[in-house]
Amino acid sequence: MPFSIATWNINSVRLRMPLVERLLVEQAPDVLCLQETKVPDELFPEKAFRKLGYQHIAFHGQKGYHGVATVARRPIAIVEKRRFCEIEDCRHLSVTVRAGGKVILLHNFYVPAGGDEPDPIINRKFKHKLDFVAEMNTIRAEHDEVSGSILVGDLNIAPLEHDVWSHKQLLKVVSHTPVETENFEAMRLAGDWVDLMRLNVPYEQKLYTWWSYRAQDWEASDRGRRLDHVWSSPNLVPSFAGYEILRPARGWQRPSDHVPVVARFDLD
């Protein structure tokens, strides 16, 4: 079986633990990266994960907001819990995991959403988002003959025209404004990251991982955005075996507005 990594903005891990359990039973990824866990470290539901065979757990959380966690069926080692923009809001966690004879540096990110007004002068949340992405330029896709890097998470930006349901209508909507998308792609390229979800997918094909709670019928309207991403260092591209966006999870009981993405690599 290939080495697999799932990423999911769960929007409260304790509230939606039954959904997490379903994902782990049905998909059995080697590693699961969660965002927006909304739980302080001392209350993280470790027992539930261990019961399902995920004995290796790392988290970076706080009460009620933000938070990331990485759980695995194989050993992981915490590398860093980085603070961005001089704000301690628990949005990053990196670990190492061994796969296919390589040491993989795995980054788990939750980028700020940015509020509603795409103006950094009047909206401090939007300024925070732009500053956060700028600091991500220091996160490089480190790799050599025996190592590689993978970056996953809710990056809260849909960078390409067909990563949203309507490019024209969302140009002034936070997550798809030109200042976000241009800086985001410049950061990705500067770090030598490969956007694996678009690697073998036609540019004109729509890709979504998020559907708003505001839609009365999210499936019928299908006004989605690709806010969740999977990147890797160039040397892991030959081992990339594809991915799946688990769209049906948006229809599970009491769902997150994001769905899981499961990426697979021939790195067993």
- Decide if 163 is catalytic: no
Q: Compute the C-alpha angle 110/156/138, nearest 5°.
A: 60
d(CA 128, CA 136): 12
Provide the CB-side half-sphere exposure for 164 (13 A, CA): 20
CATH classification code of 4-265: 3.60.10.10
- Decide if 110 is catalytic: yes
- Decide if 154 is catalytic: yes
d(CA 142, CA 70): 19
Of 54, 110, 208, 243, the catalytic one is 110
Q: Token digits for 168?
A: 């024209």
pLDDT, one tens digit per residue, over 123-160 is: 999 999 999 999 999 999 999 999 999 999 999 999 99
Model confidence at 181, pLDDT cuts 50, 70, 90, reads very high
Q: Are 152 and 230 in contact (CB under 8 A)?
A: yes
Q: Is the pTM of this model over 0.85?
A: yes
List binding-site positions for Mg(2+): 9, 36, 154, 156, 257-258
Residues 6+ apart with CB under 8 A from 12: 36, 37, 38, 39
Q: Give me the residue spans of the domains in the chain.
A: 4-265
pLDDT, one tens digit per residue, over 201-232 is: 999 999 999 999 999 899 999 999 999 999 99
Q: How many CB atoms lie within 10 A of CB 190?
A: 13
